[in-house]
Structure formats: C-alpha cells, structure tokens
Structure 1
Amino acid sequence: MEKAEEWITYGLDLIKEFGPKLVTAIIIYIIGMWVIKRVVRGTRTVMSKSKYDESLQKFLLNLFSWALKIFLVIIVISRLGVDVTTFAAVIAAAGLAVGLALQGSLSNFAGGVLLMIFKPYKIGDLIEAQGVLGVVKGIEIFTTKLVTPQNKLAIVPNGAMANGNIINYTAEGKMRVDTVIGVGYGEDIKKTKEVLLKVLTSNPKVLEDPAPSVNVMELADSSVNFAVRPFCKPEDYWDVYFNTYENCKLALDAAGIEIPYPHQVEIHKDA
C-alpha cells in the first residue's frame, strides 16, 4: 500500500514538474505548424507575383518549409527542458553517421541545388535523361518528376540528373520531326518531292522557319527513300509525326505514286 502511494506521489510530482512544459511544448508545436503553413503560403504568393521561375519557386519553398520545421522542433525540444547545446552535439554526431549512410540522398540534394543554379530544364520542358523521355512535372529537393508520353510518372534522382547527359527538346522552342517515306524506283523523283513537300506546307502545325525539307535519303533495295523533315513546336511533335505519315500516304496514292511493298508471286506448275 505504501509503495502504491509512493508511486502515485512520484507520478504526481512528475506531472507537476513536466506537465506544464509538455503542454506548452505541444501548444508551441501546433501554433508553430500553423504559422509555418501561413508563412510558406504567403511566401508562395509573393514569389508568384514576382514572377519567379516555377521550378525555382517550388524548390525554394520546399527547402524553406523544411528549415522552418527543423527550427520549430529545436524550440519545442528546448521548451521541454533539454539542453539545446547538448542536443545539437548529439544531432551533429548522429548527422555524421546518417550522412555516411545516406550519401546517395546527399548527392541528390546537391544535384538539386546544381539543377536550380544552372537550370538545364524547367517545369513544362520535354527532356530526355537517364533513359527517360518526358515532360518535367516537378523539380524537388531530391528528385525530378517526369510524365512520359505514355502518361507514366517517372521519378529520377537529382544526383543522376546533374551528373548525366540531358537532352532538352523544348529549350530552342522548335523540334525537327524525322520521317522516312519510300517510293518505287520507277516513280518521278521531282514529282514525288513536290507532293511530299506540299503535304508538309499544308499542315498548320508545321513551322515555316526553319522551312520543311524533302530530300532523297537512300537508294534502298526496293525503294527510293526520302527524308521528310518538318519542324514544329515541341507540344505538336506527335501530332505532326503521325499526320505526316498518314497524309503522305494519302497524297502519294492520290498522285498515283507507288509505295513499294513485298509482292507474292504464285508459280503454277503443269501437272
């Protein structure tokens, strides 16, 4: 009975000593998170009005949010009575160990910073990197998100992006569409070029500058192959690509120009 009373007394003493600190720490945390959300939201509004680059804006806001949250956690811990100096030393030691274990993550963070500084691409650009082709959806602290032509989300580490080859199809504002059309050897080359070029110039999505081109590319085994190369905006690439093949076939048929294909010849033997 006496031991039970001692435990109850001990518990009450703990509540009296640490209860107010714990309640205060919880209140500080709740209010702090509320303030951080408002501050980040306000910062986003200011950056939007200042016409910050969207990629840089998201990256900085993400980094700013995490810095504020870490600062809040330190305040909460100090309010609980923990010596912040000692805590900082422990965190530093733990940080070293974690840093060694998470070298890849730190490399990705550094890669994200480099991407923000040199800006090889931005949100909305069509790029090819690390074997992935897609439109940049977001550049975060550790990763870059791409949406592929198949509407799949690809998440690529920033470390690999910063240290690898990047092809930016959007940067120049125009792309060349490479298609190959073959016609029979008996067809008139000049007439064929005129028909194919008319297909390109009649497409409103094909740019006038640089001008589209049609040239003999190869004398193949069974066809004369033409390099049919229109230019277009990056967002119109697939429309122009597919329309070029379809419209070239229709135009060649209308002009009576043969597109060669394998023929099967039946040999009849007399019984």
Structure 2
Amino acid sequence: MEWVLLFVLWAPVVGALMLRAAIHDPDRSAQALAAYVRAAIFLHALALPPMLVSYGVALLVLAGFDAALLLMVWAARRDEQRLELVLAAMRDPARRDEGVRAAREWLGVLEARRGASALRVDHTLAIARALDEMGRTRDAEYALERLPRTLLAPREAARISLAIALLAVERGETARAREFTARALGRAPLGAPEVSTARAVWALLDAVDGHARRALIGISRITGVLASPLDRAMIALARAHVLAGRGEAHGARALLRELDAEARARAERLAASCPGPASPLVHGLEHPLESPYR
C-alpha cells in the first residue's frame, strides 16, 4: 500500500511539471495548469465517499484518478509538442509552406475529435497568430471561423471573436471589426483581459471615425495594467487621433513617443490599416523614448 500512497502524493505534482514543461507559451501554460488543477480537485473530491468506507479503498480510488490525470497530461504534452513543431516550421523562412500544410493538417485532426475544447481554441489562436505574422490574414481568419463559437464557453468564444476583430482592423474593415468586437464584449466575463482589449479596439475605431468623446469615455472604462503591447498601442493611438483631430499635433506626437519599440511597431501597423488624424504622425516619429511600462 506504500507505493499507492507515494503515487497518490506525487502523481499530481509530476503531472503539473510535465504539463508546464510541454507548453512554452506563458499564457497557454497558465490556462492549461489552471484546467489541470481544477480537474485534480474535482477528481480527488470524488474519492471522499470511499474514504468514509475504507482508507485503503480510498487510496486505490485516488490512485486511479491520478493515473487518469497523468494519461491526460501525457496526451496534452504530445499535442503541445505537435503544435511546437508546426509553429517552428511556420516561422522558418525555408519551411513556411510545409508549416502551413502541417498547420492545416493539425487543425483538421483537432476538428475530427469533435466538440470545441479549450485545447483546440488555444492551438487555433496560436496558428492564427503565426499566419497573421506571415501576412496571411485571410488564412488566419478562415482557421478561426472554423471553430463553432456557439459550442464554446463564453470566454473562449470572446477570444475567438476578438481575434477575428483584430484581423479585420488590420485590413481596415472597420464595420466587421465593430461587429466582432461587440460579440467579444457580449461574451467575455467581467474582469477577463479580453474585455480591456475589446474596449481598446472600440475606442480606436471611435477615434478613427471622429467620435472623440466616445473614444475617451471608452478608454476611461479600461482598468488594470496594460501588459499587452497591442493594448498599449491601440489606446495611445486612439488618444493621439483625438488630440490630432483637435489640432494638438505636438501633444499627439509626445504621447506616441512614450511607446516602447514593440508597441510602436503595433501602432504603425494600426495607423496604416485604419488611418486617422494621427496616422501621419506615427510614421514620422523618431526613435521612441523609453516606455514607462517597462
């Protein structure tokens, strides 16, 4: 019985470490670990009734649950390794076509499993980001559109809608961007990071369309630390559009110069795809100053 006790005590820890080591993306790693912990707590709670009957039976039940969790982790680890190989091929200039084919095959495998699991959402978003970086925004959007959003949990559906909205912004399709941003805001739970990003998108669109007051009100509703360079770029650009629209070019330029290099690169892409009063100022900036967000 001692080996059963050791397995029960250490299996969850080993599983968590395996899962964390398999996922290199910090966001996806955190989400996967949270899901693993919830599953572990739920399965271990099921062992409480047998514990009232016999301590030995309870240990055997827990060992069975831990074995199931380890099998789940092994499967997740295998899937993550497959995704890493796909993304590595897509980012290699010499293997991009091969990587795109591998991405399509992997998304097909996930689709064949039926349903719309969180893993399928995470992998689709990762592949869509890689396609977008390659300039294949239509392919990225097609991958996202294949997900059945009606079957997704509210936050997962909001993540997909927001990703489609951002792709629409990059193409200058403001009406489509508004449509999917509204969907994201309607599904995202309060306090989720997607809410801040969606509000930043909406504020930027308002600023581009000349609705200065609405843009500033939208920005004022964004709370928390803006860790994403994209969020910082959208908010700074929205404010700059408002200032430039009022004839305050100097203030708009000073605000944009506060962006760090990554956020400024994002702002340049946004200013080109959705032009507004401050767009010429973004492209005429000198090297940005150090960002206060660093």
TM-score, normalization by structure 1: 0.27
> Could you say which structure has the higher strand fraction?
1
> Could you say which structure has the higher helix fraction?
2
Q: Which has the higher contact order (CA 8 A, sep 6+)?
A: 1
TM-score, normalization by structure 2: 0.26
